[in-house]
Structure 1
Amino acid sequence: MDYFYYTYKHNHIDFSSHIYKISTYHYNWHGETEILILLKGKIEMSCNSEVFTMEPLDSIIISPQVGHATLALEEDTTALVIHVGKEFFQQFDPDFGMYQFVIRSDKSNRHNPFFTSLRHHAAMMMLIKSNGESPINQMWLEHHYLALASEVYDEIDAVKSIHVHSKPVDMTVATFDKMIAYIDKNYQQKIELEDIAQIGGYNVNYTSQFFKRQLGVSFLEYLLRMRLREATVRLANSDDGVAHIASSCGFADIKAFNVAFKKHFHTTPSEYRKQAKELGRKTKLHDWKEIISTQEEDIVELLQSCLPYEHDSSYKLKLEEANQKLQVVREQLESVVKKLQS
């Protein structure tokens, strides 16, 4: 069975792409430029200490090394993600590594020419890759990738800011990575904020403030979401008992698990499992992400629905034609008025 998970590297082109089911919480901090397009459902996005909601067809473009996390607010929430290789934009703009940007859509602009074109090229890339390898497919893939990348860079260039050098008291990327890595590895065990502060070599208050500023959520909320993330994956992909899942994911007891689960998902773990089984979506786990199968017809239809669009140039051409017609009508009217006046 094939899945919507691809990597591509040819000459100066370097990217990876996938379509996955967003579950409870997934935190990212990486060196690639990320493009995320929400296909189904609704998510809470934490990015640059800002927390906001994304709805179907919304898109976000995030600069490298910016911490961000997604939380599903509805069942069967699905997103398309493209990671642009670390060196790609820097080949054309040596200063690209210093830029910071977050470009996102909302109800006011999700259907404007840029975001419509972005969805078109991203969907084409996924559909082309799912059709197999061939010289013509490779050429069309690179065509759509370069069109997407050039339009994205144009938007970035208009809003980018330059990274301000960290102050001596600020945590480095490497230090924060160690703290996150420790939580990701040990969240099934009891972890205190003091443990995390000790790893970074900072006091507890400063660690707490930095954590909230960087992720948009507190240390305890992040830890809880990590535990819930594993629990939802196990509920959907195993037959383990609910009590066993609760204890193995780091919850003190099944009551604490049920309360937290109900608060975040407005349903019980048992009901969540039942709904996941009934949905029966074909997925596979990769880096804690449930990657969607290329056989899921509704996802293919969503991609195909993003294909029809008109480029800016077609709008300009139609506008020029309309203006020309309007000019002809205006001249005809002026001619009629002159005859009536004579």
Structure 2
Amino acid sequence: MDYFHYTYKHNHIDFSSHIYKVSTYHYNWHGETEILILLKGRIEMSCNSEVFTMEPLDTIIISPQVGHATLALEQDTTALVIHVGKEFFQQFDSNFGMYQFVIRSDKSNRHNPFFTSLRHHAAMMMLIKANGESPINQMWLEHHYLALASEVYDEIDAVKSIHVHSKPVDMTEATFDKMIAYIDENYQRKIELEDIAKIGGYNVNYTSQFFKRQLGVSFLEYVLRLRLREATVSLANSTDSVAHIAINCGFADIKAFNVAFKKHFHTTPSEYRKQAKEFGRKTKLHDWKEIISTQEQDILELLQSFLPYQPDSRYKADLDVANQKLKAVTTQLENVVNSLKA
């Protein structure tokens, strides 16, 4: 069975893409530019200390090394993600690695020419890859990728900033990765902020501010969400009792688990388990993500709905000007040729 999970590298083009079922909580910190298009459902996004809700068709573009996290607010929430290779934009703009940016849509602009075009090219890329490998498919894939990348860079160029760090070590990938890795490995037991502060080399107050600034949520909230993520996986994929799952995921008791679960998902653990087993998709697990099968008809239909679109008027205007100049040059050339004949 094939799944919407692809990597592509050819000459200067380098990207990966996938369509996945958004989990209860997923944190990202990586060196690629990320483009996320929400296909179905709603998610809470934490990015650059800002927490906001994304609705279907909303898009967010995030610069490399910016921590961000997603929390599904509905069942069967599905997203399309494209990661642009670390060095792709830097081939054209040597300063690109210094830029920080977050570009996102909301109800006021999700249907504007830029985001509409972005969905079109992203959908074409996924459908072309799903259609198999061939020389013509590869050419069309690169065509749509380059169109997408150029339009994205144009938007980035308008809003980019060069972030000045309060401490050079704060934003280094290695330092933050160590802190996150420790939590990921130890969240099932009692874990204190002091432990994390020692790993990062900061005092407790600074570490607390650091987490809030990078993730938009507190250290305690981050740990809680990791525990809830593990709990939802266990509820959907095991027959263990709710009490056993609660303790195994790091909760003090089943009461604390029920309260936290109801607060975040607006349902009980038992009801969540029932819904998860009733509603199934053909997926495979990859790096904590449930990748969607290419046979899911509703996802295919949704991608196909993005295909008809009108080019951005900015680029159409540029094309019209170019055509007018070409026509003028052609006329001048014809006049010169006619004068020579005479």
Q: How far does residue 140 in structure 1 lie from its aligned partner after superposition? A: 0.9
Structure 1 residues 174-198: Cα deviation after superposition (integer angstroms, max 9, x where no partner)? 2222101111121112111111111
Give the secondary structure class of the aligned counterpart of 1:239.
coil
Amino acid in the other structure paired with 1:179 = M
Aligned mates of 2:214, 2:312 — CA distance in 1: 37
**Equivalent residue, structure 1, for 2:230:** 230
Aligned residue in 1 for 2:130: 130
**What residue in structure 2 maps to residue 258 of structure 1?**
258
Aligned counterparts of 1:185 and 1:92: Cα–Cα separation in 2: 39
CA shift for structure 1 position 7: 0.7
- Larger mean Cα displacement after TM superposition, 166-175 or 126-135: 166-175
1:159-308 to structure 2, matched below 5 A, reads 159-167=159-167, 170=170, 172-308=172-308
TM-score (norm 2): 0.89
CA contact (8 A) 2:170 2:176 kept: no
Q: Deviations over 1:288-319 (max 9, x none)?
A: 111111111111111111111011259957xx
Compared with structure 1, are the counterparts of its residues 85 and 169 closer, same or farther at alpha carbon in structure 2 (3 Å cutoff)?
Answer: closer
User: What's 1:35 paired with?
Assistant: 35
Inter-partner Cα distance in structure 1 for 2:175 and 2:233 = 29
Give the TM-score normalised by structure 1.
0.89
The answer as to 2:61 corresponding to 1:57 is no
Please give the residue correspondences for 1:40-189 in structure 2 after superposition, counting only pairs within 5 Å. 40-167=40-167, 170=170, 172-189=172-189
Count matched residues.
318
**How far 1:278 sits from its partner (Å)?**
1.3
Q: Deviations over 1:81-114 (max 9, x none)?
A: 0000001001111110000100000111000000
Counterpart residue type for residue 285 of structure 1: L
| Greater Cα shift, 233-242 or 115-124 | 233-242
Indicate the RMSD between aligned Cα atoms, in angstroms.
Answer: 1.7
SS in 1 for 2:180: helix
Larger deviation: 100-109 or 277-286?
277-286
CA distance in 2, matches of 1:266, 1:222: 19
Q: Is the 8 A contact 2:165 2:171 kept in 1?
A: no
**Contact kept? 2:27, 2:67, Cα under 8 Å:** yes
Mark the runs of 5 or more structure 2 residues left unpaired by the alignment: 321-342
Q: What's the secondary structure of 1:94's corresponding residue?
A: coil
Aligned to 1:331: none
Unaligned runs of 5+ in 1: 321-342
- 1:131 is displaced (CA, Å) by 1.1
DSSP 3-state at the match of 1:308 = coil
Cα distance in 2 between the residues matched to 1:314 and 1:29: 33
Distance 2:188 2:142 in 1: 43
Match of 2:338 in 1: none
| Residue matched to 1:309 | 309
